C-alpha cells in the first residue's frame, strides 16, 4: 500500500503545482494589464517558483534557521514571513522578466508548436514560389527596381526608363501566373497613381489560363453541390465556355429544361491564391521599404486592397448577392415618367445549387463586346450608337438613381445579345464580382458634379467634389477650385473620360484629399466604360452623351415629389423640437430681461476626453506611489537599529522588503501602461 500512498502524494504535489502555476500566470496577466500569453506566463512562473524554492532552502540553512534535514530552528511565524517575502520577490522578478520579453518578443510573434509546423510547411511553398517570382523579375530586367535607392522623389530620369520598366513589369507579371496578371490588370486602372506609359502597357496583359481537367471539374461541382451532378443538371458540358484564373464557366441545362451557365471555382484556386497573395505582400513590403517609388505609390496599400478584392472574388455568394442587387434596379423610367423596361439584361441567379464555390446563372446567348467586332459590323452606325446609348444610360441609372452599379464594365463583361446569329439590339452584363454602392448623399453629389461640369461652374464642381470626398482640415480650397476649373475645361473640350477622371483623382490626391473606395470605383467605372462604348460605336463621345443622357436622370433626383417627400421626412424628425421651441424662446427672453441668463460650459464632456484625463491622472498617481514606495523601501533597508523579529532579522528590513515589493509591482504596471500607449499595435 506504500506505493498507493506515494502515488496519491505525487498526484497531490502535481495538482497543487499546476494550480499554483495557473494562479501565478493569471496574477501576472492581471497585474501587468497586458495580453501576455498563458504559456509564457506559466513558464516564467515555473522558473520563479523553482528559483524561489532553491533560494529559500539555501537561505534558511545559511542563516541557521533550519538544519540539514529542513527542521526549523526559529519561530514558525518568522519563517512564514521569510517564505512570503521570498516568493513575493520571485513573483516580482517574474513580472520584470515578462515585461522584458514583451518588449523584445511580444506575445504572438513566436508561434505555438503546431502553428510553427504549419508555417514551416507553408513557408517552404512560399519560399520556392518567391524565388521563382524573383527569378522571373530578374530575367526581365527588374533587378534594379528591387534594390535600395537614394533618390528622394522616386522619379525616373527619362521616358525611355519608364517604358522599359513598364515592359519589364508587364512581362514579369505575365510569366508569374494568374494572380499576378490580375494584379497587373488592377494596376492598369490606377491612372491616378501610375504614369500613363505604365498603365497603357499593363492594360495589354491577358490571362491565358488553360481549363482544368474535366474529371477535376466534375469532382469540384459535385463537392460544391453536395450530391452527384446528374441529380441537379440534365446536361453539363465539360468543355468550358470561358476559363479564368479563379474559376471557369460551363454551359448546362437544369432538370426543368432551363439553360444555365455554371461558374465553378478551379480546384486548388484558394490554396494557390493564398500563396501568391503572401508572395505579393512580401514583395510589396520589400519595395516600400527599399525603394522611393514604392513608398510614394504606397504599394503595400495597393497590394492589401487587391488581396481583399481577390479574396472576396473567391466567395461566389458575394457575386450572387451583387447580381440580385443589380437586377433589382433594372427597370428604368423614361423621360416622360413611363417605364421603359430594362436597358440591359442581368442574368438571374439560380438559388438552389449556388454557393460559395459554385454559381449557377441564367444563360445569356451573346458575344462579349471585345470579341463581337464581326457581329457589330453587320449593324448600321445608328444601331451601334443606340447600343452605346443604352449601355451608358444603364450605367448612369445605376450610378445616379439605383445606387448599385457594375464597377468593371470593360469589353469582356458586356455581352452583345444574339438571336438567330445576329445582334438583336440588346446588351447583357457579366461578372458581377465587382459591384459598388453609393448612398443618396454620394449620388446627389456625383450628379451635382456632372451638372457643374456641364455648366462650366468650377465653384459648384469643387463643392460637389468636396462633398463626395474626405477633405483634410488644412485644405487650400481656393487653389483646388482653380485646378478643378482647368479640369472642367478639359472635360468640355472633349478630353477622354478616362483621362479626365484620372486627372480628377490625381488632382484631389495631390491636394491631400482622401478618395473613398466606392467613389474611386465610380470614377473607374467611367474609365472602363469609355473603351467599351468606343468598341460599340467608334468615335463615341462619352462626355457629350453623358451630358445628354444624364440630365433626365438628374432631374429624377430633384423632382417636386422627391423634394416634398424629403422635406416631409425631415420635418417629422424635427416636429418634437419645433413643439418645444416657443417655450424655450420664452424662457430665454425672460432670463435676459431679469438678468439671469447664463451660459454653462462643461469641461471634458466628451467620454474620450474624460477617459484620457482619468488614465493620465491614474498613471501619474501610480508613478508617484511607486517612486515613494521604492524610496521608502530603500530607506528602511539601509536603516540601522529598530526592533528585531528574530536574530539577524530586523523589522525594518521586513517592512522595507514588503514596501519594495509594492513599489516594484506598481512600477511594472506603470511601464506597461507607458509601453501600451506608445505601441498599441504590438500589445
Catalytic residues: 408
Kindly report the backbone phi and psi dihedral angles of residue 495, in degrees, each rounded to the nearest multiple of 5, phi listed first.
Answer: -65, 150
Which helix (H) or strand (E) segment is 340 a member of?
strand 339-342
For residues 40, 43, 47, 53, the Cα torsion angle rounded to the nearest 10 degrees is 130
Using an 8 Å Cβ cutoff, are 154 and 296 in contact? yes
- Residues 366, 384: Cα–Cα separation, whole Å: 15
Buried b / exposed e along 598-608 (16+ C-beta atoms within 10 A): eeeeeeeeeee
Grid cell digits, residue 236: 453539363
Strand duo 422-429 + 414-419: pairing: antiparallel
Q: Residue 502: which of 189, 267, 209 has the closest Cα?
A: 189
Q: What is the DSSP string of 308-338?
A: HHHHHHT-HHHHHHHHHHHHHT-EEE-TTS-
Q: Residue 467: which of 455, 482, 484, 489 has the closest Cα?
A: 484
Grid cell digits, residue 113: 508548436
Cα angle at 590 between 589 and 592, to 5 degrees?
A: 65
Grid cell digits, residue 344: 440591359
DSSP classification of residue 264: E
Q: 44 exposed, middle or buried (CB, 10 Å; 0-12, 13-18, 19+)?
A: buried
Which helix (H) or strand (E) segment is 250 a member of?
strand 247-254
- Residues 609, 612: Cα–Cα separation, whole Å: 5
Cβ-proximal residues to 115 (8 Å cutoff; 6+ apart), any chain = none
DSSP classification of residue 259: E
Amino acid at each position: 500500500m506504500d506505493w498507493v500512498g506515494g502515488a496519491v502524494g505525487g498526484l497531490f504535489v502535481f495538482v497543487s503545482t499546476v494550480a499554483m502555476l495557473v494562479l501565478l500566470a493569471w496574477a501576472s496577466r492581471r497585474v501587468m494589464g497586458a495580453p501576455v500569453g498563458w504559456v509564457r506566463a506559466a513558464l516564467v512562473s515555473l522558473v520563479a517558483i523553482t528559483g524561489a524554492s532553491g533560494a529559500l532552502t539555501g537561505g534558511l540553512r545559511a542563516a541557521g534557521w533550519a538544519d540539514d534535514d529542513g527542521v526549523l530552528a526559529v519561530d514558525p511565524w518568522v519563517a512564514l514571513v521569510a517564505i512570503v517575502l521570498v516568493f513575493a520577490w520571485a513573483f516580482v522578478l517574474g513580472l520584470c522578466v515578462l515585461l522584458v520579453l514583451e518588449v523584445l518578443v511580444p506575445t504572438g510573434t513566436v508561434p505555438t508548436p503546431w502553428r510553427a509546423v504549419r508555417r514551416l510547411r507553408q513557408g517552404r511553398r512560399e519560399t520556392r514560389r518567391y524565388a521563382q517570382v524573383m527569378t522571373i523579375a530578374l530575367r526581365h530586367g527588374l533587378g534594379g527596381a528591387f534594390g535600395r535607392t537614394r533618390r528622394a522623389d522616386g522619379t525616373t530620369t527619362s521616358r525611355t526608363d519608364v517604358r522599359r520598366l513598364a515592359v519589364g513589369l508587364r512581362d514579369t507579371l505575365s510569366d508569374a501566373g494568374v494572380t499576378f496578371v490580375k494584379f497587373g490588370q488592377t494596376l492598369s486602372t490606377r491612372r491616378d497613381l501610375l504614369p500613363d506609359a505604365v498603365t497603357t502597357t499593363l492594360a495589354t496583359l491577358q490571362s491565358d489560363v488553360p481549363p482544368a481537367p474535366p474529371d477535376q471539374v466534375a469532382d469540384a461541382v459535385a463537392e460544391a453541390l453536395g450530391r452527384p451532378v446528374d441529380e441537379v443538371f440534365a446536361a453539363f458540358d465539360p468543355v468550358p465556355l470561358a476559363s479564368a484564373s479563379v474559376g471557369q464557366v460551363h454551359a448546362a441545362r437544369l432538370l426543368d429544361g432551363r439553360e444555365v451557365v455554371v461558374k465553378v471555382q478551379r480546384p486548388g484556386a484558394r490554396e494557390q491564391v493564398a500563396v501568391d497573395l503572401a508572395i505579393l505582400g512580401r514583395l510589396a513590403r520589400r519595395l516600400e521599404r527599399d525603394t522611393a517609388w514604392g513608398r510614394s505609390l504606397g504599394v503595400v496599400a495597393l497590394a492589401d486592397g487587391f488581396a481583399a478584392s481577390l479574396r472576396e472574388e473567391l466567395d461566389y455568394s458575394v457575386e450572387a448577392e451583387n447580381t440580385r442587387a443589380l437586377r433589382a434596379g433594372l427597370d428604368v423610367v423614361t423621360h416622360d415618367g413611363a417605364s421603359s423596361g430594362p436597358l440591359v439584361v442581368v442574368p438571374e441567379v439560380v438559388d438552389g445549387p449556388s454557393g460559395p464555390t459554385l454559381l449557377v446563372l441564367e444563360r445569356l446567348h451573346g458575344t462579349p463586346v471585345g470579341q463581337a467586332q464581326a457581329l457589330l459590323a453587320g449593324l448600321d452606325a445608328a444601331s451601334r450608337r443606340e447600343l452605346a446609348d443604352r449601355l451608358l444610360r444603364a450605367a448612369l441609372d445605376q450610378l445616379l438613381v439605383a445606387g448599385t452599379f457594375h464597377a468593371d464594365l470593360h469589353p469582356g463583361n458586356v455581352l452583345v445579345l444574339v438571336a438567330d446569329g445576329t445582334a438583336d439590339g440588346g446588351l447583357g452584363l457579366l461578372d458581377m464580382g465587382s459591384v459598388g454602392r453609393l448612398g443618396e448623399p454620394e449620388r446627389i453629389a456625383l450628379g451635382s458634379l456632372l451638372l457643374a461640369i456641364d455648366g462650366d461652374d468650377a465653384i459648384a464642381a469643387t463643392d460637389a467634389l468636396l462633398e463626395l470626398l474626405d477633405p483634410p482640415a488644412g485644405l487650400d480650397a481656393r487653389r483646388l477650385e482653380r485646378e478643378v476649373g482647368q479640369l472642367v475645361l478639359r472635360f468640355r473640350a472633349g478630353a477622354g473620360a478616362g483621362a479626365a477622371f484620372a486627372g480628377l483623382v490625381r488632382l484631389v490626391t495631390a491636394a491631400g484629399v482622401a478618395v473613398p473606395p466606392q467613389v474611386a470605383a465610380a470614377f473607374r467605372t467611367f474609365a472602363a466604360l469609355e473603351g467599351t462604348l468606343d468598341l460599340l460605336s467608334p468615335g463615341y463621345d462619352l462626355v457629350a452623351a453623358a451630358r445628354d443622357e444624364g440630365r433626365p436622370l438628374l432631374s429624377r433626383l430633384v423632382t417636386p415629389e422627391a423634394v416634398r417627400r424629403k422635406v416631409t421626412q425631415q420635418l417629422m424628425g424635427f416636429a418634437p423640437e419645433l413643439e418645444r421651441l416657443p417655450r424655450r424662446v420664452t424662457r430665454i427672453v425672460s432670463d435676459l430681461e431679469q438678468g439671469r441668463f447664463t451660459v454653462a460650459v462643461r469641461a471634458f464632456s466628451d467620454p474620450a476626453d474624460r477617459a484620457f484625463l482619468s488614465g493620465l491622472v491614474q498613471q501619474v498617481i501610480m508613478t508617484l506611489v511607486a517612486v515613494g514606495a521604492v524610496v521608502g523601501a530603500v530607506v528602511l533597508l539601509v536603516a540601522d537599529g529598530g526592533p528585531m523579529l528574530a536574530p539577524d532579522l530586523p523589522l525594518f528590513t521586513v517592512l522595507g522588503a514588503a514596501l519594495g515589493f509594492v513599489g516594484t509591482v506598481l512600477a511594472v504596471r506603470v511601464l506597461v501602461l507607458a509601453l501600451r500607449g506608445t505601441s498599441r499595435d504590438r500589445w
